[in-house]
Amino acid sequence: MTGRRPPPAEDEEDGAALFREAIGTVRRLPEKREPVPRPKPEPVPRMAERDEREARGEFQRLLEEGPLEAADSLRYRRDEISPRVLRRLARGQYATQDELDLHQAGAAQAEAWLRRFIAEARAAGHGCVRIVHGKGLHADGAPALKNLVDRLLRQRADVLAFHSAPAAQGGTGAVLVLLRPR
């Protein structure tokens, strides 16, 4: 075979003519236009919304609960940290690798020391540290350093969890902090 079609037989030509005669005149349809694309939706900043929700929750908690008292325990964990880890931290089952003592520091100085201490501890690869803030028994009203430490640690993304230390490690006058790995 040569790959050419043989000429149509007379019957095929008659069939095509009969078909055209049966359907009548044909008109061409108008060309279909492409649909106008819909504008893409704006991206949703999910992480920013989550951070905003968490911050509002923390702020609301502070408004409802008021300041911590000397005997109150500090405790906090991020959602990705299991309650079991927090219980182990509360029992002092993690070895502390560094310590910061905030006794006798003013609020501004304690805040600066705490921020630098956490940054340096993470840079050194420490996973668990102890911060001694004292019980604030000599202060008028609520213990200022204890409330400052609680507030600052909750705001830091590099803090995974914290809990007041067991009695042998400072009790409610110290806090054990789990840090996010570098």
| Residue (of 109, 83, 59, 54) closest to 163 by Cα position | 83
Residue 160 and residue 81: Cα distance in Å, rounded?
7
For the CA atoms of 77, 50, 126, 170, what is the dihedral angle to 10 degrees? -30
Residue 21 and residue 31: Cα distance in Å, rounded?
25
CB 128 within 8 A of CB 93: no
Domain assignment present for 6: no
Reply yes or no on whether the pLDDT at 2 is more than 60. Answer: no
Give the count of domains, the chain. 1
Neighbours of 110 (CB within 10 A): 21
CATH number of the domain within which 61 lies: 3.30.1370.110
Domain assignment present for 129: yes
CB 143 within 8 A of CB 134: yes
Of residues 129 and 20, which shows the higher confidence score? 129
Domain assignment present for 40: no
Model pLDDT, residue 33: 85
List the domain range (segments joined by +) for residue 84.
47-179
Taking only the tens place, the pLDDT of each residue in 126-163 is 999 999 988 776 556 667 888 888 889 988 899 999 99
Taking only the tens place, the pLDDT of each residue in 28-80 is 888 888 888 888 888 888 888 888 887 777 767 665 566 666 667 788 899 89
Domain assignment present for 103: yes
Average pLDDT, the chain: 84
Model pLDDT, residue 64: 59
Reply yes or no on whether the pLDDT at 125 is more than 80. Answer: yes
Domain assignment present for 15: no
Model pLDDT, residue 88: 94
Domain assignment present for 38: no
**pLDDT band at 84; cut points 50, 70, 90:** very high
What DSSP string describes 71-111? TPPPEEE-TTS-HHHHHHHHTT-S----EEE-TT--HHHHH
Output the CA–CA distances (angstroms, integers) from residue 34 to 7, 27, 39, 108, in the order listed. Answer: 40, 21, 15, 64
**pLDDT band at 118; cut points 50, 70, 90:** very high
Neighbours of 68 (CB within 10 A): 20
Domain assignment present for 133: yes
Model pLDDT, residue 59: 67
Domain assignment present for 120: yes
